[in-house]
Amino acid sequence: MAGLKYLSGFGNEFSSEDPRCPGSLPEGQNSPQVCPYGLYAEQLSGSAFTCPRPANKRSWLYRILPSVKHKPFAAVPCGNLTENWNEVEPDPNQLRWLPFTIAKPTEKKVDFVAGLHTLCGAGDSKSRNGIGIHIYTCNTSMVDRCFNNSDGDFLIVPQQGEILITTEFGKMMVEPNEICVIQQGMRFSVDVFGATRGYILEVYGCHFEIPDLGPIGANGLANPRDFLCPVAWYEDRTVPTGYTVINKYQGKLFACQQDFSPFNVVAWHGNYTPYKYNLKNFMVINCVAFDHADPSIFTVLTAKSTRPGVAVADFVIFPPRWGVADHTFRPPYYHRNCMSEFMGLIKGHYEAKEEGFQPGGGSLHSIMTPHGPDFDCFEKNSTAELKPERVAEGTMAFMFESSFSMAVTKWGLQTCQRLDKTYYQCWEPLRSHFNPNWKPSKK
């Protein structure tokens, strides 16, 4: 949407007023006896009050009516959204999905919430420790409906179709090759403009951070200035027929009715906000001498666990870059990992599997499940001339990596009917090159 404005920075102390109501932020205090313009003051806490300052997250919202004014919540059908990790037996195989199907509007109108499908996950929202990976496919906008997640944060990765997200903090337009994060408890609604598809990484009990840089220094990877959060925007709109607030709580969906729009925040300040990021701004680091670096150098955001260096989830991308390593097999190496790796493709062709892994699909390589380049990739790159070359041009693949051993849902294994049961065959042609008489070449 032309004309949308944003505030720049990651985790900053922001303040914003809708320009239609100048002076709507109270001066010198958070909760005056009477707020400017007769607004209500409401705090949204994203951390415990007593968290250390670097981890303390909260925002103050100044709104026309407080969010507490609503009818009681009642359970509603969850569709394919679930936190039941025991629906089907575990499957340790390499799994790959063809592009997930988007319903045609002539067949069925599906908005963002109705189009949420849980693919895999682990842990428990009640104990505030876990992860969920969801696919969204939709074809119509949310009308007089909003969603909030009481369980955790949503990291949304659009793959097809831009989405206009209206939040209590303002509006964000998010296009493919951008991501956004809607943090726990923030109400939002999604407008779409045709067939729309994407991926969601949900984490319970923690928030996403930009990773520490260590010896890289003060700059690099995802720079804080490139993260954008919306500016205040409000609507003073009554909805006599009822406005529906949908709440994801303890893995289930609940809905309540109210007679006004929840996007009635005239002004706000704080450091707990939704935000978006354009992946083209990622400052890529790569090997410039030899060997293949671990993919952690491509981490955009991390949700840390209580164990140092171990993530509940990392969001990692594989962007266009130069490959220049000498005497090196340049594609990703063969691997068995103590972490789970879910991969998706926004556009283009992933370097290690140029066939079969398609935009809008995905793959899951579970804990200690072997994976790596397919036969064609290995043969081609074992004999390729090693000259400087562009890698992943026109491509954007990504990975959700987690320390959790994720279970795949019944929808993921059966109902969606997109599981590629031939995936294992891409490694079948691999053959032995072992030569017991090999001698090092004389230099």
Q: How far apart are CA 238 and CA 331, in angstroms?
A: 56
Strands 145-149 and 238-249: parallel
Q: What is the structure's pLDDT at 148?
A: 96
CA diameter of the chain: 87
pLDDT digits (tens, 9 = 90+) for 321-344: 999 999 999 999 999 999 999 999
pLDDT digits (tens, 9 = 90+) for 231-277: 999 999 999 999 999 999 999 999 999 999 999 999 999 999 999 99
Inform me whether the pLDDT recorded for 2 exceeds 60.
no
349 pLDDT tier (thresholds 50, 70, 90):
confident
pLDDT, mean of residues 35-41? 98
Q: In this structure, are residues 234 and 18 in contact, taking their beta carbons and an 8 Å threshold?
A: yes
SS3 251: coil
The rounded Cα 423 to chain-centroid distance in angstroms is 25
Taken as a whole, the chain contains a residue count of 443
Q: What is the structure's pLDDT at 352?
A: 59
pLDDT digits (tens, 9 = 90+) for 102-118: 999 999 999 999 999 99
Q: What is the structure's pLDDT at 353?
A: 65
87 vs 354, residue with greater confidence: 87
Could you tell me which residues are annotated as the binding site for homogentisate? Answer: 350, 371
Q: What is the structure's pLDDT at 441?
A: 84
Q: What is the structure's pLDDT at 354?
A: 65
Could you tell me which residues are annotated as the binding site for Fe cation? Answer: 335, 341, 371
Bridge partner list, 317: 398
Q: What is the structure's pLDDT at 3?
A: 85
Inform me whether the pLDDT recorded for 356 exceeds 80.
no
Q: How far apart are CA 25 and CA 39, in angstroms?
A: 10
Inform me whether the pLDDT recorded for 11 exceeds 60.
yes
Please identify every residue annotated as catalytic.
Answer: 292
Could you tell me which residues are annotated as the binding site? Answer: 335, 341, 350, 371
pLDDT digits (tens, 9 = 90+) for 125-150: 999 999 999 999 999 999 999 999 99
Q: What is the structure's pLDDT at 394?
A: 94
pLDDT digits (tens, 9 = 90+) for 282-310: 999 999 999 999 999 999 999 999 999 99
Q: How far apart are CA 101 and CA 305, in angstroms?
A: 34
pLDDT digits (tens, 9 = 90+) for 20-30: 999 999 999 99
Q: How far apart are CA 368 and CA 370, in angstroms?
A: 6
> Which residue from 114, 87, 115 is spatially nearest to 101, judged by alpha carbons?
115
In percent, the amount of the chain with pLDDT more than 70 equals: 99
Mean pLDDT computed over every residue of the chain: 96
Inform me whether the pLDDT recorded for 73 exceeds 90.
yes
Q: In this structure, are residues 183 and 272 in contact, taking their beta carbons and an 8 Å threshold?
A: yes
Inform me whether the pLDDT recorded for 180 exceeds 90.
yes
**Three-class HEC string of 280-330:** HHCECCCCCCECCCCHHHHEEEEEECCCCCCEEEEEEEECCEEECCECCCC
Q: In this structure, are residues 231 and 7 in contact, taking their beta carbons and an 8 Å threshold?
A: yes
